[in-house]
């Protein structure tokens, strides 16, 4: 395909897409994509005692727990002592583990 033909083809596709979007927005067209509205749960906020309780319920050492979460042992120690708090991503992972302790085995974070 020549460059000019390619440009016309791309332009035609863009033009067609814009016409579909305008028709859909004005209520005259059908959407080809299924849309859904979702709500994202707030990131939990676990402090030291809760982090320690989650780890102990899993029956893991700080070293093993650090490996599961993907942080250093010093980080877990710091969380549990209250010197620092887990990041948002770590908080989200902790909430998943807290709700479903089997998730760490289910997703091969540990192997027995």
Can you give the pLDDT at residue 4? 56
Query: What is the value of pTM for the model shown?
Result: 0.67
Q: What is the pLDDT of residues 44-98, one digit of tens each?
A: 999 999 999 999 999 999 999 999 999 999 999 999 999 999 999 999 999 999 9
Rounded Cα distance, 42 and 52, in Å: 21
Has residue 112 been placed in a domain? no
Q: What residue numbers bound the domain in which 23 lies?
A: 1-38
The pLDDT confidence band at residue 1, using thresholds 50, 70 and 90, is low
What's the gap between Cα 33 and its chain centre? 23
User: Same domain for 26 and 57?
Assistant: no
Q: Is 46:88 a contact under the CB 8 Å cutoff? A: no
Q: How many domains does the chain have?
A: 2
User: Same domain for 95 and 74?
Assistant: yes
């Amino acid at each position: 395909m020549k460059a000019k033909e390619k440009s016309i083809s791309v332009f035609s596709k863009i033009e067609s897409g814009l016409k579909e979007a305008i028709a859909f927005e004005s209520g005259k067209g059908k959407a080809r994509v299924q849309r859904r509205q979702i709500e994202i749960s707030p990131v939990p906020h676990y402090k030291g005692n809760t982090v320690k309780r989650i780890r102990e319920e899993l029956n893991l050492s700080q070293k093993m727990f650090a490996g599961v979460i993907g942080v250093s042992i010093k980080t877990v120690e710091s969380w549990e002592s209250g010197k620092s708090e887990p990041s948002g991503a770590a908080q989200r992972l902790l909430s998943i583990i807290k709700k479903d302790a089997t998730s760490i085995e289910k997703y091969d974070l540990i192997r027995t």
